[in-house]
Structure 1
Amino acid sequence: MRFNTATCLAVCASAASALPGFFSQDVTAADDKPSVPGSNPLVYCNAEHSSDIVSITSVDLSPNPPAAGSTLEIKATGTVYEPILEGAYINLVVKYGLIRLINQEVDLCEQTEKADLKCPIEKGVLSITKSVEIPKEVPPGKYTVHAEVLNADDKPITCLEATVQFGGSKSDNEL
């Protein structure tokens, strides 16, 4: 299976509750990290995120819970306090158990173009809807995703994390 950025985002976004049928998952979040509002598995990386350029109002997933091999629709709403400039980026880390699958810098503006947004993204209220295909071949196990999003001048836009357990019971799949 090719594990690209879209797949990582799908794994992160699909960490909601239990998958029906063959796959099941268990979402965990650290108690000291605030949850992102809405129907989603996301938490902020740090308890303090008041200096973020974006304030997330909600992130909702449909269907929730998502299913392997289906299309996941992600709806996000928030407020942008400073323009998001060309050159903004995401430091993306995805782990499968203890194995680091991805550790890369991703161009944020390239990703936002997939949701019909172009940089610069101006100040104001912003709503995004994005559909992502969840691969049916997602291997069972524990996945963690860390996405630190920074503007071109390195100011924090936001930082989000998710942990998901795909397939079987949590104790059966820990690495």
Structure 2
Amino acid sequence: MRLLSVFCIGALSAGNLASAGSWFGTDDVNVSDVQKVPGDSPLEFCDKDRAEDIVVIEKVDLSPNPPQAGTQLVIHASGTVNAPITQGAYVKLVVKYGLIRLISTTADLCEQVENVDLKCPIEKGVLSITKSVDIPKEVPPGTYNVFADVYNDDDTPITCLQATVTFGMNRNSAESVNVDDL
């Protein structure tokens, strides 16, 4: 799901997310008091205290929201980087399908930002990203919970985000079923 790349200041991509991590890992992201990220997306901050974060996410919009399997997702994100993000920055990522942990990994943030045409170091300043991502039609229906806790090389928090996305049956495929074929 390339939408994570913008969710974490352009940090993650679908290809790397889908192939990363181990099944049923032990690294959990601490999720406490949540707060919605401004904009039209399922994103929430992991907790209310964002004062120490290097990145202040101002808005994230998805089109369509919620994302749908077999469609193109357009992500618009904007925010402010308050300190340089440097080589060695990383993200702790957990993806669950229902109760099943699909991915639990730590990924190199600087390798991932290249998926949204950024390079480390990411300097201080305003950052605006627009990215189009094709969501495979083969995404199994169900609810996916994603947690991304992002840190700079010196363990300073960059941001922490979570989202719950439910993929269902595509309406077009449901309408194309011929009753006589059943």
TM value normalised by structure 2: 0.73
Secondary structure at the counterpart of residue 114 of structure 1: helix
1:53 — aligned with what?
54
CA contact (8 A) 2:62 2:73 kept: yes
After TM superposition, give the deviation of residue 31 of structure 1 in Å: 10
1:6 — aligned with what?
14
How many residue pairs end up in the alignment? 146
Q: How many angstroms apart in 1 are the aligned matches of 2:39 and 2:134? A: 21
After TM superposition, give the deviation of residue 107 of structure 1 in Å: 1.4
Moved segments of 4+, more than 3 Å: 7-10
After TM superposition, give the deviation of residue 60 of structure 1 in Å: 0.8
2:159 — aligned with what?
158
1:167 — aligned with what?
168
Q: How many angstroms apart in 1 are the aligned matches of 2:102 and 2:16? A: 10
Say if 1:79 and 1:156 are closer, same or farther in 2 by CA, change over 3 A: same
Q: How many angstroms apart in 1 are the aligned matches of 2:52 and 2:119? A: 23
Q: How many angstroms apart in 1 are the aligned matches of 2:114 and 2:72? A: 19
C-alpha distance after superposition, 1:101-154 (max 9, x if no partner) = 000111111121111111000001011122222111111222110000110111
C-alpha distance after superposition, 1:60-119 (max 9, x if no partner) = 112334321111111110000000001111111000111110001111111211111110
2:137 — aligned with what?
136
CA contact (8 A) 1:73 1:129 kept: yes
Give 1 or 2 for the bigger CA radius of gyration.
2
Secondary structure at the counterpart of residue 95 of structure 2: strand
**Runs of 5+ in structure 1 lacking a partner?**
11-29, 169-175
1:15 — aligned with what?
none
Say if 1:84 and 1:60 are closer, same or farther in 2 by CA, change over 3 A: same
| Alignment root-mean-square deviation, CA | 2.3
CA contact (8 A) 2:69 2:139 kept: yes
CA contact (8 A) 2:59 2:78 kept: yes
TM value normalised by structure 1: 0.76
Q: How many angstroms apart in 1 are the aligned matches of 2:131 and 2:111? A: 14
C-alpha distance after superposition, 1:21-67 (max 9, x if no partner) = xxxxxxxxx99411001111000011211110000010111233432
